[in-house]
Chain A
Amino acid sequence: MTTPPQTTVGAIRDGSWQRYLTFSLSTWVTIGLLIVVTALNVALQPTFFTTYSLTSNFATFAPLVFAAVAQAVVVIGGGLDLSIGSIVALASVVALTVMDGEPSRVAIGVLAAIVTGVIAGAINGFIVGVIRLQPLIATFATNSVFAGAALVVLPKPGGMVPSTMTTGYRSLVIGIPVSVLIVVLAIVLYWLLSRTRLMRHIRAVGGDRSAAFASLVPVVRVQMASYIVAGAFAGLAALAILANTGSGDPFVGSSMALDSIAAVVLGGIALAGGRGSGIGAVAGAIILAMVSTVLSFMGVPTTWRQLASGVIIVAAIALSVVMSRKDQR
């Protein structure tokens, strides 16, 4: 063959800057929605970009951001995790109990939250991957189990989070709010994960399970691992919640499973699996959280707020699903 060695078949060469702008349609929808809600927020709340406002806004977003990344990993792998909220609740009460308000035990508390999440994820992964129950049914059931376990650990809201955690969470590092950095951490963690063989295999299994099996992907192990990784992210979400609220609550995650699924869809991740990125889910979580702040600043009465936010979310999800259908063609 006498052709030049450089491969130039693709329209855009690897490594060129244009590559970073070749998004799919559904990614553009996510970016567009993010810009719209941010603009609305800024318009209604001129102090939005002050450090105080950023700190408190991101402090509220962060738990859902981590839960959304957790859900994203599972959904990309072709699964679904309805127990994310209960894992967050369980991990938070376990960490709270382990730390017992002692600033010196924060490190061990962080470890406890992550390990709790990993164990819960392993249980989900075993039931879905090895016993091969439908993810919907399996995690619906384990949702009750983990929620029940959380109640056993901490029967009613209370307890005290070490003050170093709560004050640290609302402080600044070189002028940047820590809560913002924590959301950035979620993005960095996902970015690192996306460069692992495991995440490549998760995408393959979610895309076509039997083709992945034929292509030497250890399908069962990969499926289990996706729930375990999700459990670890749920553990991080639990820590963010503790730092934000300052006390423990066994019921804390009740709306998180469905919120995380909504965030994942808003982030352009196909519920059918195989497609999308955890970074989209981060954007989805922020969109979701900002919709409710926008509504409160617009003066929508509290009685109407949930209804209004539901309608907006349905519309946004419909838009991103319709667009991702166009991507497929």
Chain B
Amino acid sequence: MASLDITGVDKRYGGVQALKGASLSVAEGEVHGLLGPNGSGKSTLNKVMAGAVRPDAATIRLDGQDLRIHGPQDAHHHRIESVYQQLSLIPHLTVAENLVLGTEAARAGWLTPKAQLVEVDAMLERLSPVLGGGIGPRTRVGSLNPGTKQLLEFAKVVLRRPRFLVLDEATASLHRDQVALLFAMVRELTAEGVGVVFVSHRMEEVLDLCDRATIIRNGLNVATVDVKDTDEQELVRLMVGDLARAAGRGERPAPSRDGQPVLSVRGLQAEGLADVSLDVHPGEIVGLGGLQGQGQSELLTGIFGASPAQAERIEVAGDPVEFRNPRSAIAAGLALVPGDRASEGLYSVRSIQENISTVTLGRRARAGLVIDARAEKEAATSQVDALRIKIGALADAVSTLSGGNAQKVVVAKWLLSEPRIVLLDDPTKGVDVGAKAEIYAIIRDLTAQGVGVILNSSDDVELAELADRVLVLYEGRIVQELEGTDVTHDNLVAAALRISDDDTKES
């Protein structure tokens, strides 16, 4: 039987080894689930098959023949087609133009769309019950909602008549009827002998659709199982592993939660968030858990006034506040250490000193205008020492630092403003172990001084180690709260995955 086998896949992004010898084997006519916790390398593996990412090493075999896939066109040549997690529709083109993009029929360069339009019409007809009204081949894609776009993305790939089809979170924005239709179409494809790789964060979808499943963890294969013979608990156990995890929060006593919260948020609404409420007490670390992209970052930037959000009420130490922009949040004693330090946290070509002092520039300026160079240097030096940032000179550009040290510069610049509440958005992503431990120490020092911390982390081990309490988010809502000794790695992964689907899947 024909199969697509990909073995020995290594891929390193900077300092992070995303895949180390991972493999996947998909047979004709099966739906093969690809499972793993956050950051296990699922998407990277899919992108290697699609030709969107060049692996450091990999062997790809189709029907026993070695293949080279250097780009999406090579994959297409072998009829391996992918729906990416990031959509690939062009907003200004029409539905029909998008559906045939890259595979347009043409004679001597001139488009001959007639025959293809028949196929496009048939596809839209098939999807029409769940596509939403008023969508025809000439509709522009830009204004459509995410679910519709995702269906079109699926349709586009199916129109290319794949032999192997990779669906990476292809159901993430779909509501139930749309998922049902997509599943029906996938089953028709497998009946015709198409092999499908299926990634979804909804466990019941995996259990419903997949014949086999491969579980990867930290870029390595853990197991391949028959889904029929496996239950949910077993899959979760395989994803988490039975290894005893780092021993929780250590000796630190849980902070008192009797007094007034330093930050209180009620009914926060924003893009990707629905009615979130939370309290943070002085000295407390509140973790945000769950799968990646369930609204954690949006929650932090929404509180901070960095992205549009409406809240019924936000109070800082009992005083009602309203943050329309980060400046007002900073004035109230908040600080946000962003996750994407390259684009939000640092001016990479500017000096370390300038980077550290930006947020608090106003305080050291003479008469609000002239920067006091000596005061600035002293402030920067004290932070560099306190945080043990390894630098050449304060005047060096931030781009000369390693990821861990660059992240410490981001932390340093915010701590200079002496915040009462610190929001951390995945502060140790792509940071090496040593720098991680130091950032943990900084966070613990902060809480010892009575600062309230909200920590979003894609690393469940990190949450288990640091957080006093973890709010688990799923599709923009807080669906579970873990506290004290319940904050363990296993509980976090289980909470992220084993959410009942009934009340969350509405569009």
Contact = CB atoms under 8 A, between A and B. Distances in A.
Contacts, number: 101
B137 A207 contact: no
Interface stretch (A2-10, A39-47, A153-161): A2-10
Interface string B116-132: 01000100111010010
Interface string B59-97: 000000000000011001000000010111111110001
Contacts of A328: 142
B90 A211 contact: yes
B90 A203 contact: yes
Contact of A9 (B91, B97, B134, B142): B134
Given A197-B106, A204-B97, 7 more contacts: A10-B137, A10-B139, A207-B92, A208-B88, A212-B101, A214-B72, A215-B90
Contact of A195 (B90, B111, B121): B111
A10 B120 CA distance: 13
Given A195-B110, A211-B90, A7 B125 contact: yes
Q: Which 8 pairs from chain A and chain B are nearest by CB?
A: A10-B136, A216-B102, A214-B88, A207-B90, A211-B88, A9-B136, A197-B106, A7-B121
A203 B101 CA distance: 11
A77 interface: no
7 contacts: A11-B134, A204-B97, A207-B91, A207-B92, A210-B88, A215-B156, A216-B73
B14 interface: no
Interface string A172-197: 00000000000000000000000111
Contacts of B366: none
Nearest to B160: A216
B500 to A, nearest CB: 32
Contacts of B76: 216
Contact of A215 (B88, B125, B138, B142): B88
A214 B84 contact: yes
A212 B90 contact: yes
B494 interface: no
B92 A274 contact: yes
B110 A196 contact: yes
B328 to A, nearest CB: 27
Contacts of B133: 9
B109 interface: yes
A328 B143 CA distance: 8
A216 B103 CA distance: 8
Interface residues of B, number: 40
Contacts of A3: 125, 128
Contacts of A200: 93, 97, 101, 104, 111
A208 to B, nearest CB: 5
B92 A213 contact: no
Contacts of B106: 196-197
Nearest to B120: A7
A1 interface: yes
A168 interface: no
B274 interface: no
B135 interface: yes
A214 B52 contact: yes
Interface string A1-44: 10101011111101000010000000000000000000000000
Contacts of B101: 200, 204, 212, 215-217
A9 B124 contact: yes
A11 B109 CA distance: 31
Contact of B136 (A7, A204, A214, A275): A7
Contacts of A207: 90-93
Contacts of B92: 203, 207, 274-275
A274 B72 CA distance: 22
Nearest to B113: A195
A154 B92 CA distance: 44
A218 interface: yes
B125 A1 contact: yes
A115 interface: no
A213 B72 contact: yes
B106 to A, nearest CB: 4
- Chain B CB within 10 Å — which of A207, A215, A328 has the most? A215
The SS class assigned to the A binding surface is loop
A208 B103 contact: no
A214 B71 CA distance: 9
Contacts of A8: 136
A215 to B, nearest CB: 4
- Chain B CB within 10 Å — which of A11, A19, A200, A274 has the most? A200
- Chain B CB within 10 Å — which of A195, A200, A214 has the most? A214
Contact of B111 (A14, A196, A204, A218): A196
- Chain B CB within 10 Å — which of A8, A210, A211 has the most? A211
A319 interface: no
B91 A274 contact: yes
B110 A211 contact: no
Contacts of A217: 101-102
A274 B106 CA distance: 21
Contacts of B117: 14
Contacts of A275: 92
A9 B135 contact: yes
B143 to A, nearest CB: 8
Contacts of B128: 3, 9
Nearest to A272: B92
Given A207-B90, A207-B92, A274-B91, A196 B109 contact: yes
A119 interface: no
Contacts of A54: none
A196 B108 CA distance: 9
Nearest to A211: B88
Contacts of B72: 213-216
A197 B90 contact: no
A308 interface: no
A323 interface: no
Nearest to A198: B109
B124 A7 contact: yes
B104 A211 contact: no
A199 to B, nearest CB: 9
Contacts of B126: 1
- Chain A CB within 10 Å — which of B52, B90, B133 has the most? B90
Contacts of A211: 87-90
A198 B125 CA distance: 28
B135 A10 contact: yes
Interface string A111-122: 000000000000
B128 to A, nearest CB: 6
- Chain B CB within 10 Å — which of A9, A19, A200 has the most? A9
A197 B116 CA distance: 13
A7 B127 CA distance: 12
A8 B106 CA distance: 26
Nearest to B95: A10
Nearest to B134: A11
B135 A204 contact: no
Contacts of B109: 196-198
B504 to A, nearest CB: 29
A10 B136 CA distance: 4
A7 B106 CA distance: 23
A204 B141 CA distance: 12
Contact of B137 (A14, A203, A212): A14
A10 B135 CA distance: 5
A303 B101 CA distance: 52
